[in-house]
Amino acid sequence: MKTDAELLTEARELIQNGWVQKNTHVEINGQHSYCSAGAIIRAIWGRNPHVPDAERKQKNQTFDRLTDLIRRAVGESESIVLWNDAPGRTKDEVLQAFSTAIESADK
């Protein structure tokens, strides 16, 4: 299993390649864009959402842990989905949040 920092780095790279608000994931003409939560989901689950229950529980716990790192990085006590989708939020702010979370991960 990848470390939290590795998963967050992978999610950050997905967002770097395409960021979206109000959707988890959008594909237009082969270009994929992800919101903060969507990128984390993709990094953890890959392309296979069908896993045994024990693995699903572990992946869900990883998702909770990674989203908590993002929330702490931005000082948000609510959902990162709401934070990501806030009017005026920028891709650069999202990328910086992931960078900050990566620095604090696995410590």
State how far the Cα of 101 lies from the Cα of 73, in Å rounded to an integer: 6
Q: Give the rounded percent of residues in the chain with a pLDDT score beyond 70.
A: 99
State how far the Cα of 43 lies from the Cα of 2, in Å rounded to an integer: 10
Inform me whether the pLDDT recorded for 48 exceeds 90.
no
pLDDT of residue 53: 80
Mean pLDDT, the chain, integer = 93
Please state the domain count of the chain. 1
| pLDDT per position as a tens digit, 63-75 | 999 999 999 999 9
pLDDT of residue 26: 96
What pTM was computed for the model? 0.93
With the CA atoms of 35, 39, 40 and 42 taken in that order, what torsion angle do they form, in degrees rounded to the nearest 10? 140
pLDDT of residue 13: 98
Tell me which amino acid residue 82 is: L
Q: CA separation (Å) from 64 to 4, 68, 71, 92, 98?
A: 11, 6, 10, 23, 15
Specify the residue for token string 């650069």. 92
Q: What is the mean pLDDT of residues 83-105?
A: 96
Domain region containing 63: 4-104
